[in-house]
C-alpha cells in the first residue's frame, strides 16, 4: 500500500500541469494529437524513466471542454510499466483534473482480481488559466479507502500551500521557456506513515509543466522531472 501511495503522489506531480491550450485555456495546451514526454531523474541526476502523454480526444460537454490524456510510463531500462489515461476539463476559466481517473486501469484491474474493494473521493485539482506572481492556488486532496479480507487501509493525500513564487527563464532538453515557478506541499498519510514532499514546478504558457523538483521535508532533493519532447 505504501508503494501505491508513493506512486500516486509521483503521478499527481507528473500530470499536475501537463495540459494544453484552446479557447478555454490560454495557459495549458488542449489540442488533439499534442504530445509530451517527461524524463524523470533520481536525486543523483541519473535518468529514472520516462512518461509519454498524448491528447487522444477533445470534446465539448455542455460549456466545458474535456480532454483525454493517454500516458505510457517506461522505466529506466526501457520497459513499459503501464499504460493509462485520465481526463481534464476546462470551464469558466478554470482547469480541473478528475482524481479518480488518475489511477491506472491496470492497477485497478489488479486490485479487482485480488478482491480488493477501493473507494476514492476528493477535491479536484483546480488551475486558473492565468497566473500572477504572489497568487495563491486552491488546496486539493484525495482519500483512498481499501478493504481486503476484513483488513481496511486508508490513505489521504493533501496538496496545500500552493502559490506562484516568481517568473524566470528555464532551459530543458525541449527548449528554453519563460516560466512561472509554482510551489506546493503534498502530505500523504497511510498506515501510520506520513510522507511530506515539497515541490517546485516551472510552468510555461501554451506548454504546461517544463520542469519539476521534489524535496523531502528536510530539504534534500528526491527527484527531478523535465520536459524532453513536446509537439502539437
Give the pLDDT confidence of 72-94 residue by residue, as tens digits: 989 999 999 888 887 888 888 77
**CA atoms within 13 Å, Cβ hemisphere of 95:** 25
Mention every residue, 6+ apart, whose C-beta is less than 8 A from residue 57. Answer: 32, 67, 68
Residues in a beta bridge with 53: 36, 71
C-alpha 20/C-alpha 31 separation (Å) is: 6
Reported pTM: 0.79
CATH number of 2-231: 2.40.360.20
* pLDDT under 70: residue ranges of the chain: 1-28, 98-114
Residue listed under C-alpha cell 489488479: 110
C-alpha 49/C-alpha 13 separation (Å) is: 15
| Domain positions in the chain | 2-231
pLDDT digits (tens, 9 = 90+) for 210-228: 999 999 999 999 999 999 9
Amino acid at each position: 500500500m505504501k508503494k501505491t501511495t508513493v506512486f500516486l503522489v509521483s503521478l499527481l506531480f507528473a500530470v499536475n500541469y501537463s495540459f494544453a491550450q484552446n479557447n478555454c485555456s490560454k495557459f495549458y495546451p488542449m489540442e488533439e494529437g499534442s504530445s509530451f514526454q517527461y524524463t524523470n531523474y533520481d536525486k543523483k541526476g541519473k535518468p529514472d524513466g520516462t512518461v509519454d502523454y498524448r491528447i487522444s480526444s477533445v470534446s465539448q460537454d455542455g460549456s466545458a471542454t474535456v480532454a483525454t490524456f493517454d500516458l505510457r510510463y517506461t522505466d529506466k531500462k526501457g520497459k513499459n510499466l503501464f499504460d493509462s489515461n485520465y481526463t481534464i476539463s476546462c470551464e469558466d476559466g478554470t482547469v480541473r483534473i478528475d482524481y479518480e481517473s488518475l489511477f491506472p486501469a491496470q492497477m485497478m484491474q489488479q486490485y479487482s482480481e485480488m478482491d480488493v474493494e477501493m473507494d476514492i473521493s476528493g477535491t479536484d485539482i483546480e488551475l486558473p488559466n492565468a497566473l500572477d506572481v504572489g497568487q495563491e492556488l486552491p488546496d486539493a486532496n484525495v482519500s483512498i479507502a481499501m478493504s481486503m479480507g476484513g483488513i481496511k487501509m486508508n490513505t489521504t493525500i493533501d496538496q496545500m500551500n500552493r502559490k506562484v513564487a516568481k517568473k524566470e527563464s528555464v532551459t530543458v532538453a525541449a527548449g528554453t521557456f519563460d516560466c512561472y515557478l509554482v510551489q506546493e506541499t503534498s502530505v500523504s498519510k497511510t498506515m501510520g506513515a506520513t510522507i511530506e514532499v515539497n515541490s517546485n514546478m516551472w510552468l510555461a504558457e501554451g506548454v504546461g509543466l517544463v520542469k519539476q523538483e521534489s524535496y523531502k521535508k528536510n530539504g534534500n532533493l528526491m527527484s527531478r522531472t523535465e520536459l524532453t519532447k513536446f509537439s502539437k
